[in-house]
Amino acid sequence: MKKNGSKRNGRTLRRGNGTGSLWRKPGGNVWYMLFAERDPATGKAKRVYKSTGTADRAEAQRILDETATKYGYGANYSHAEHLAKLREAAGDVEARIEQQRAALQREAEERAAAERKAAEERAAQERDRNALTFAEAWIIYADSKKRPDSGDRTLAGYEQQYNTFAAWVKARYPKVTRLRDFSPDMAEAFIDHLDSTRSRSTRNKYLVFLRTFWRVLRWHPDAQLAVDPWEGIRTVAATVDQVNHKDLTLDQLAAVAAVLNSTAPVPGYKIVNVFRYGDTDIRDELRALFAVGIFTGARLGDCATMKWADIDAVARTWNYEPRKTSRKYHRRVTCAIHPTLEAVLAALPTFTSRKGYALPTLAEIYLNREPSMVTQRVQAIFRAAGIDTTAPGENGTRTRIIVGFHSLRHFFNAWLNNHGVNHAVADYLTCHEQGKVSATYYHENRDAIRRAILALPTLPMLTGAQAAVDAPQAAAELAATTYQAEATDAPRGNLEALRNLLAKMSDTELREAADMIQAERDRRNA
């Protein structure tokens, strides 16, 4: 093989002087650079191959020239100088590698930052999608186990207040659709709206409910409530005429009794005749409803759902669990039955059987239809008696109810307080201290409770008589005479008590009672 210009397998091996030459592997396309170096220690030459990375002959020549110039091939460099040159070149390579490493590090950091930002944006979008809307918030509140254990009617009232509030937010701040976006400034604006459109008591009711609403929902993760917008907003003192219903007088109660005793129909709101429910005449039940309210001070729901099983005819007491406080206290109240109330109850059609509800039709309406249907009848009777039941509201608001069934409770409480009845007894009978009294309160204060009930006036007109006795002393004397007669006339009192007791017995109990009576008769005749 020739040293220069020879051919091997069709490929040219070109050897130059110290400036290097190009060489291509048999069957290959890429050109390599060939340089010769001499080792000064041995004097021997060695070959150095470097790839140009290209198959183009001209480009390969250019790379060869640049490399030869850069590394000093072809010059009279010593081996040490050549190594220094190589070290310098290696340093440049390391610098470039470090630059590239730094660039890659920056790119990685920028990419990580971008990914974090994207993740935060996705999380924020997810929170936005999950954040409770005003429509969703009520459903969460109603289903929450953290909310107060409100009755169905109370919860329905809260829902109505919330819907009014949500409608105001939608009209005033249409872009605020999420509960979390409701701010303290907006809360103050809503309270200002209530101050100018509602009474003080209504304004306070809204505020108390919304505070509770926010406190319950703050624990829900999707509510995302960072602050309580109602914090710092105080309730305001209500005016006297807002807090108190108008007091009823004996003359007004006599007028109510006259309406209840008349045969004339009384129309009501969307009711042709308040004394009829379908084909049923409920005048006697309405008369008894008023009598129970007057002589026990119980609320409408308790009076309308009175059960014969809760009435002890022997002890002349009514033992019941107030519906309003039953969820919280689970305590029962025992109220003595006033003689007038006893006479009214005795006139009821259900008195003969004394089973189920004492006022079955009113109980059906109140429990299974709509309580307001009972309230409407009560209000119509007051109006028919010539009693104004409403008064204009504050700030141009709708009229306020100043006389209603609750006025009977006020009458009961006021009469007891004005006639020397112990406040603790009055509070017990009206359930104002329900959470503080013990289950044995009645037994420990039986005489005081009976004296309190007997302090109430007798209202014979509820039973069809014409006059009312308004003097407590006269009422007490009448009642005392009744009870004294029963005490002195023991056989009549005992027989009446036994008759009432037998009426409640089952057939099996009646047979056992008959056997006991026969055994007692045999004992006495022995």
pLDDT tens, per residue, the chain with 526 residues: 344 444 444 344 344 445 678 888 888 899 998 877 766 667 677 777 888 889 999 999 898 888 877 766 654 445 566 667 777 777 777 888 888 888 899 999 998 888 888 888 777 667 667 788 998 899 999 999 999 888 787 888 999 999 999 999 999 999 998 898 899 999 999 999 998 888 888 899 999 999 999 999 988 888 888 889 999 899 887 654 444 566 788 889 999 999 999 889 999 888 899 999 999 999 999 999 999 999 999 999 999 999 999 999 888 999 998 887 766 667 888 899 999 999 999 999 999 899 999 999 999 999 998 888 999 999 999 999 999 988 876 655 567 788 999 999 999 988 998 888 888 888 888 876 555 555 577 777 888 889 999 989 888 888 876 555 554 444 444 444 444 434 444 444 456 556 666 666 677 777 777 777 777 777 667 6
Predicted confidence at residue 16, as pLDDT, reads 43
- Helix or strand run (H / E) with residue 23: strand 21-24
Strand order in the sheet with 45-51: 21-24, 31-38, 45-51
pLDDT at position 526, please?
Answer: 64
> How far is residue 137's CA from residue 472's CA, in Å, rounded to a whole number?
55
Q: In whole angstroms, give the CA distance from residue 330 to residue 490.
A: 37
pLDDT at 241: 46
- CB-count exposure of residue 501 (10 Å: 0-12, 13-18, 19+): middle
Sequence-separated (6 or more) residues with CB below 8 Å from residue 249: none
Q: What is the pLDDT of residue 313?
A: 86
Length of the chain: 526
Task: Look at residue 337 in the predicted model and tell me its pLDDT.
Answer: 93
202 φ/ψ angles, rounded to the nearest 5 degrees: -65, -40
Cα angle: 139, vertex 145, 147; to 5 degrees: 75
Residue with tokens 């009469």: 415
Q: Which helix (H) or strand (E) holds 47?
A: strand 45-51
Structure token digits, residue 75: 């010059």
What is the pairing mode between strands 311-312 and 280-281?
A: unpaired
Q: Phi and psi dihedrals of 489, rounded to 5?
A: -90, 70
From 6, 341, 53, 399, select the one nearest 199 (Cα to Cα).
Answer: 399
Paired tokens of 385: 């008696």
Res 295: pLDDT: 95
What pLDDT does 245 receive? Answer: 61
pTM of the complete model? 0.58
**Rounded to 5 degrees, what are φ and ψ at 505?**
-85, 150
CA-to-CA separations, 71 to 65, 77, 94, in angstroms, rounded? 10, 10, 17
Are 165 and 187 in contact by the 8 Å Cβ rule? The answer is no
- The pair of structure tokens assigned to 175 is 């872009």
Neighbours of 141 (CB within 10 A): 22
